[in-house]
Structure 1
Amino acid sequence: MQLANAASGWGSNSVTVASYVVSPGPGWPALQFSDCRAAAERHGWTVGREFTDYTPPGFERLDLGEQWRMTLRMAESGLLDGIVLHDLTTVTSDTQDYLTLVNWAADHCTFALVVNGGEYGRDHLIGRRPVTTTAVA
């Protein structure tokens, strides 16, 4: 992550995340992004990007769009340390989806933080705990 941090202007000891939400339309994700930013701040992380895929109200099939795929690619390539999700149901609809996310995080040495983890609680971490270093004078 040090090369990506140097290229993006953040210090090598920072954790950079993207927020991802699914919204029924423009204007809806502002509160969800606010919650994601607050969660990142609680952990001392920097939100580098915010991504939204739009799903029409009443749409029953979870259809993760191009923005989700872009978020995953950025984390896989090291441009992000992890992803902050507002709700677990944003990217999982069943146990198999959840296990797929857990395995993805392990395979790519990254993490996802779920702000509203439902039965898993607030700030539910999936994957490795991000490590920050402190400069010693």
Structure 2
Amino acid sequence: MRWLRKLLGLEPRTPEREAESEATRPIGWSSMAALLEELGHIADEHDELFDTDVRERIHEAADRRVVKAEPGYQVPTELGMFSPEGNERVRAALEVHLQRIAEVFDAFGLETEAERRRSFFNPKVRSDEGGYHVDDFFGHP
């Protein structure tokens, strides 16, 4: 996957990046990092996760579930992946992690769409292992 990280312009892990203080991390950092990490593992086996169609669909799921906080919203079963197994893995990851992120945002009192969008799409958030950023999977808001 190094070629893909290079293509996407992902920065390699460095001691400086590892030493970032917990105090400077955005709200929901660990929940977001866990989501990005899991999506990164799925992408290792399913390159189509970076396709525009898939990214638009998972962006919509995050927008409706976390940013707009639509009551009862369920992530769709069809997310544009090339196989049912790929769709299910992405759907399951989104269901679990988006729920956790929404709970964290609620706990910290992020009530408006603008606050939730700003926190979800924070460019400082990245996965610890793969160095993925939110826009690698969800694009820009």
Which structure would you say has the larger RCO, counting Cα contacts within 8 Å and 6 or more residues apart? Answer: 2
Shorter-chain TM-score range: under 0.3
Q: Which has the higher strand share?
A: 1
TM score, norm. by length of structure 1: 0.28
The alignment's TM-score, normalised by the length of structure 2, stands at 0.27
